[in-house]
Structure 1
Amino acid sequence: MHARTHAPLTPALVALMAFTTGLAVASNYYAQPLLHTLSQHFQVSAAHVGLIVTVAQLSYATGLMLLVPLGDLLERRRMIVTMLVLSACGLLLTASAPSLGLILVGTGITALFSVVAQVLLPLAATMAQPHERGKVVGSIMSGLLLGILLARTVAGTLSALGDWRTVYWCAAGLMLLTAAVMRLRLPSSQQHLGLSYPALLGSVLQLFVQEPVFRLRALLGGLSFSVFSVLWTSMAFLLSSPPWHFSDGTIGLFGLAGAAGALAANGAGRLADKGKAQWVTTGGWVLLGLAWLPLAFAQQSLVALVVGILVLDLAAQAVHVTNQSMIYRLRPDARNRLTAGYMTSYFIGGATGSLLSASAFNLAGWNGVVGVGATLSVIGWLVWLVGSRRVPKHGHHPEAH
């Protein structure tokens, strides 16, 4: 294997990659504050319209497994630009969709190719100097996580200014513009592994067999995102129902509270660089569980809801960034495949959390959602407690640092 990458990783380029990453992933979350509006528009139940979130996450997981590994094989600039354009096409289909069925198709296309974010992330990690890799990963992840959370604010605001379709038209135009900028500014980069596509996909599965740390971190990632998705999937249902009766625009503003927590991503990456990964992971899981205490009172207090959002998002992002900083130290030649395997687990967890959340809200209201979220948090903490004692303590595995 040999690789070629032209041009240094400058702060401006890191900022551009972080913005593009956030924009790409945001396209999967515009629907969340609009779910009750879409439910009324198409006259379907909350569970049916909740399929938009589930389809987005499952399609994203499919792209992670089938497309992201190609970043270890193809010329990455051309691949990134092409995926941005195709993701924009999915947004255009959603914007013009006359039925919920076509929204699901458009959502699936957009999510499949929005995994471009996970091609950019290992590219940045590869271009970064070893001593700053955690910091760079944290910066890109801050962009990604801000995209996820601010997508709700942007969607709610644009829906209030126009209608629910407005955000999709605007997002498609911005995605195409970003594709053009990336074509001009992103350096050429390609690895030559000498593997066929089937062998490339098979090597992702081999990494799960060969790397205990990778298996543990992938499982923790899936569990942490399931907890995150339990909260955010049902947030619109809670805030649009009594006693709050909030509009799309107001519901979207709660994404700003989550964005504040997401800014912790940079700090988590720096701590991982300093060998504090185990400490950050332990603290993250403790906070994920504690966050559901104030969230249990969200039907009576908006202050409790905001506190819960801040704590849960900070903890989830700290665990996630630490996971990625650790796995990128395992196999420098396989960062796209490590990303593919890890993020597939991550979004399968997210899709599971969304399904559980929508079902729990239908069956038991907000209390059901809190119960599911708290249970998943305890499960994640137990997995970490047991798993951290079994991962290798020697060799090239990051837990030895």
Structure 2
Amino acid sequence: MNSINSKLSSTVLWLMTIFSALIVANIYYNQPLLGKIAEEFGVSEAAVSKITVLTQLGYAFGLLLIIPLGDKMMRKRLILIDLVFVFIVLIWMAVASQLWMLFVASFLLGVTSVVPQLFIPMAADLSTPENRSKNLGLIMSGLLLGILLSRFVGGIVGDLWGWRSIYWTASILMIFSWICIYRLFPEIKPNFKGNYLSLMRSVWELAKTQPVLRLAAFRGAMGFGSLCGIFTTLAFHLEQAPFHAGPSVAGSFGLVGAAGALSAAFVGRLTKRLEVNRIILISLCVLLGSWLFTYFGGYTYIGLIIGIVLIDLGLQSTHIMNQSDFFAIKTTATSRLNTVYMVSYFIGGSLGSWFAAYAWEFAGWTGVCIVGFTFALLALTAHLLFANRLKRG
């Protein structure tokens, strides 16, 4: 498996899925633990929420600066180098003794934890056109499961052994991942011959010249901002009446959301029956409607459970179809296409977290629901205005 024409083996595909979950989990362990971190450092909930925002901004920077290198460097080598830095930053997170150290380490953890976004274009390159949506759907399900289950695991481990213990555990998992990737993954030769500056210019050129990519990026950004809004503030909401729940309960909602993520794994198969734009429309309607459950049932467990399952289902389905849409663009610059999309995606997530944190401070759960609903509405509006126009064009 040494060339771009090699087929993607089931072993490598499943390892990509598992390692995507393990690596992306690093940047979400903190969400159910924010209350404990705020207590240890003696700061407000709004102040400690900066950890989540900085991690997501760091991820956006990593996507912008590192992912394009997947078209210029040997991808396997790039992945292995990056994982070394992930390991170092996880150790820093575990030993941080001051809040500013935690802020810096959180940002750097976001920057370095971009490896799954190198797996995705690799899988797209190695897949046949008939299997591309299905394979991407599997990896994206792993990615979202990592995001969701990390909250569950982080909450449980934080309750039992303190919030720092999860980062020690994660560092060990990174060593295991590095060894498996080194031994089992294929190498893909780079397809870009220019220097780094020209590489980055080509990323901007793709963003300017590909309207399908721009629309997908906006839908993804707004959708992910909607999801991040609820998970950034959920731990604070559950600490209050009528729940009075701790980090383990907040984290368990990641397990609830996993049901939606698993359901969305099958969305790639719907492309044989429905066109991509129709699937995206349905998915965004599910995402928007989920906020009605979250708002009106937000002070009951059943209301929150239904809302979060639907939020994750709607977002993940949209996400998979967005990527199938822009990876169909005829170009070899798959890493750079993914860069434009995922940078936008996590900027949207950062904005969702930021607005939701301040909405919580000033308007409580109602404010959070307004932020989440607005982000979802923006995604749906853009799709309704431009998707069919681009298809006709």
TM-score (norm 1): 0.95
The sequence identity of aligned pairs, in percent, is 37
**1:186 equivalenced with 2:185 (yes/no):** yes
2:222 counterpart residue number: 223
**1:81 equivalenced with 2:80 (yes/no):** yes
One-letter amino acid matched to 1:15: W
Across the two proteins, how many residue pairs are aligned to each other? 392
2:210 counterpart residue number: 211
Of 22-31 and 7-16, the range deviating more from structure 2:
7-16
**Hey, what's the Cα distance between the residues in 2 that align with 1:301 and 1:76?**
46
TM-score (norm 2): 0.97
One-letter amino acid matched to 1:73: K
One-letter amino acid matched to 1:143: G
One-letter amino acid matched to 1:310: V
Aligned in 2, Cα 1:379/1:105: closer, same or farther, shift over 3 Å? same
1:253 counterpart residue number: 252
Of 131-140 and 380-389, the range deviating more from structure 2:
380-389
1:17-36 CA-to-partner distances (Å, cap 9, x unmatched) read: 11111111111100000111
2:43 counterpart residue number: 44
CA contact (8 A) 2:55 2:107 kept: yes
Give me the CA root mean square deviation: 1.4
**Hey, what's the Cα distance between the residues in 2 that align with 1:314 and 1:299?**
18
- Residue 297 of structure 1 and its aligned partner are, at CA, apart by 3.2
Q: How does 1:53-72 map to 2 (within 5 A)?
A: 53-72=52-71
Q: How does 1:324-335 map to 2 (within 5 A)?
A: 324-335=323-334
Unaligned 5+ segments in structure 2 are none
- Residue 198 of structure 1 and its aligned partner are, at CA, apart by 0.7
**Hey, what's the Cα distance between the residues in 1 that align with 2:40 and 2:244?**
17
Q: How does 1:110-125 map to 2 (within 5 A)?
A: 110-125=109-124
1:81-121 CA-to-partner distances (Å, cap 9, x unmatched) read: 11112111111100010011111121122111111110111
CA contact (8 A) 1:121 1:140 kept: yes
Q: How does 1:153-164 map to 2 (within 5 A)?
A: 153-164=152-163
SS in 2 for 1:115: coil
**1:360 equivalenced with 2:366 (yes/no):** no
One-letter amino acid matched to 1:37: K
**Hey, what's the Cα distance between the residues in 1 that align with 2:272 and 2:85?**
35
- Residue 299 of structure 1 and its aligned partner are, at CA, apart by 4.3
Aligned in 2, Cα 1:286/1:299: closer, same or farther, shift over 3 Å? closer
2:28 counterpart residue number: 29
2:290 counterpart residue number: 291
Q: Spell out structure 1 runs of 4+ moving beyond 3 A.
A: 5-8, 272-275
**1:307 equivalenced with 2:306 (yes/no):** yes
**Hey, what's the Cα distance between the residues in 2 that align with 1:273 and 1:153?**
35
**1:107 equivalenced with 2:134 (yes/no):** no
1:19 counterpart residue number: 18
1:134-182 CA-to-partner distances (Å, cap 9, x unmatched) read: 0000011011000000000110111122011010000011112111111
SS in 2 for 1:189: coil
Of 8-17 and 295-304, the range deviating more from structure 2:
295-304
**Hey, what's the Cα distance between the residues in 1 that align with 2:268 and 2:109?**
29
1:197-221 CA-to-partner distances (Å, cap 9, x unmatched) read: 1111111111112111111111111
CA contact (8 A) 1:264 1:317 kept: no
One-letter amino acid matched to 2:152: T
**1:4 equivalenced with 2:33 (yes/no):** no
Aligned in 2, Cα 1:173/1:6: closer, same or farther, shift over 3 Å? farther
SS in 2 for 1:131: coil
- Residue 5 of structure 1 and its aligned partner are, at CA, apart by 4.0
2:126 counterpart residue number: 127
2:149 counterpart residue number: 150
- Residue 332 of structure 1 and its aligned partner are, at CA, apart by 3.9
